[in-house]
Amino acid sequence: MTAFSLEPAQLAWCTELRALAAERLRPLAGKGEPGRVNRALLAELGALGLLPRLFTSGALELCLMRESLAHACTEAETALALQGLGAHPVHAHGTDAQRAHWLPRVAAGTAVAAFALTEPAAGSDAAALSLTATPAADGWRLSGEKCWISHAPEAAFYTVFARTTPGAGARGVTAFLVPADRPGLTGTALDMLSPHPIGALAFDAVPVTADDVLGEVDRGFRVAMDTLNLFRPSVGAFAVGMAQAALDATLGHTARRDAFGGKLKDLQSVAHQVAEMALRTESARLMVYAAATAYDEGAPDVPRRSAMAKLLATETAQYVVDRAVQLHGARALQRGHLLEHLYREVRAPRIYEGASEVQRSIIAKELYKNLEDR
């Protein structure tokens, strides 16, 4: 298999996932309450065997799952992705006891996971985080805030990144697994544009011990970057799924819609826009698959490829969905229309897990580093 084609079995699996998302997941998503964890949807993702695959799949398979689910049910895609984002550090860097306690529950959809990196003053500059881990007799006490944390405040546990060594930048950060019932940990929901749950967390001397460390002390930034390098291409896959859904809707609409004595598709200005939408969507898809394959193969340029994939795919999806809305006209802005939903969903991926500007900085840094290494 190459990075630029899928085998028949993979294509068949994507088709199956789209059908499952439309027939079994979308009805459950429709019954969910905006801004709250949809526990019935999570349980169904577990029952279908999709959540367990978060811990057995490579990056390409994760991308295929996210793209296929996003095409038919963005809520299901996001629920699956957030479970993976919150639990991957436990899977990849946790102790045997941490894995045994939490991962089966995450896979079943009964324990909600969350990734708590962002702070009010440390979003794009993650190395500048200030949540403090103060040494104590039995470990540390966490004090500070996290903000814009998906699944907060409803998660069962949080992968929390805190500063254990002041003034050390990225080298002084430690990752902790913090159960939600720890004393001193409180959370509040935030009312955001996206319908999935997002909240803020306050840490008031929250106790953690060596048993709660993920990976090594002062090496938590590596845990964060390892997680993001895996999930950034799959954010691109989520975006590609949305772009493809918008493109498919536009093809159907322009082929049926009567305008100016013919069909919309017969207008060259319309046909050329649709062609551009298709071109950009396919280009983004190929870059996502290439980045995911590079991750699976352990290639040395994963950070650059992951950043490129997320950047191109999320910017492409914004363009494609916007063009789709324009070609549909006012009907696309009506509450409940597919494109109205996608128009709200497509904006956030250009910000979370590293804004587009951060991805450009990563790409440039990697390019110049390679130049210096020659």
Kindly state the tokens that stand for 201.
């967390």
> Of these residues, 67, 353, 357, 366, which one is catalytic?
353
The β-bridge relationship of strands 185-189 and 173-179 is: unpaired
Q: Is the dihedral of CA 38, 39, 41, 45 positive or negative?
A: positive
Q: Specify the amino acid at residue 358.
A: V
Nearest to 35 by CA among 163, 193, 202, 270: 193
CATH code of the domain made up of 222-373 = 1.20.140.10
- Compute the distance between CA of residue 93 and CA of residue 159 in angstroms, rounded to an integer: 11
Tens-binned pLDDT, residue by residue, of the chain (374 aa): 445 678 899 999 999 999 999 999 999 999 999 889 999 999 999 999 999 999 999 999 999 999 999 999 999 999 999 999 999 999 999 999 999 999 999 999 999 999 999 998 877 676 788 899 999 999 999 999 999 999 999 999 999 999 999 988 889 999 999 999 999 999 999 998 877 899 999 999 999 999 999 999 999 999 999 998 889 899 999 999 999 999 999 999 999 998 888 999 999 999 999 999 999 999 999 999 999 999 999 999 999 999 999 999 999 999 999 999 999 999 999 999 999 999 999 999 999 888 999 999 999 999 998 787 76
Backbone angles phi and psi of 136, in degrees to 5: -135, 170
Q: What is the pTM assigned to this prediction?
A: 0.93
CB 59 within 8 A of CB 295: yes
Distances (CA, A) of 68 to 19, 46, 226: 9, 17, 24
Q: 75 catalytic, yes or no?
A: no
Nearest to 288 by CA among 242, 246, 223: 242
Residue for token pair 């793209």: 67
Contacts of 272 by beta carbon, 8 Å cutoff, 6+ apart: none
Nearest to 204 by CA among 221, 187, 220, 217: 187
CB atoms within 10 A of CB 350: 20
Residue for token pair 């969507």: 281
Q: Where are the beta strands (DSSP E) in the chain?
A: 113-116, 132-136, 139-150, 157-163, 173-179, 185-189, 198-208, 213-214, 258-259, 262-263
- Compute the distance between CA of residue 62 and CA of residue 45 in angstroms, rounded to an integer: 14
Q: At what angle do helices 96-108 and 39-47 cross, to 10 degrees?
A: 100
- Compute the distance between CA of residue 142 and CA of residue 146 in angstroms, rounded to an integer: 11
Q: Is the dihedral of CA 27, 28, 31, 36 positive or negative?
A: negative
Beta bridge partners of 332: none
Omega before 34 within 30 of 0, i.e. cis: no
Beta bridge partners of 116: 160
Nearest to 71 by CA among 338, 275, 314, 293: 338
CB < 8 Å & 24+ apart, contacts of 251-254: 253/327, 253/328, 254/327
CB 164 within 8 A of CB 139: no
Task: List the end-to-end C-alpha distance of the chain, in Å, as a whole number.
Answer: 30
Distances (CA, A) of 343 to 115, 193, 254, 313: 25, 10, 19, 15
CATH class of this structure's domain 8-108: mainly alpha
114-220 has which fold? Butyryl-CoA Dehydrogenase, subunit A; domain 2 (2.40.110)
Residue ranges of the domains in the chain? 8-108, 114-220, 222-373
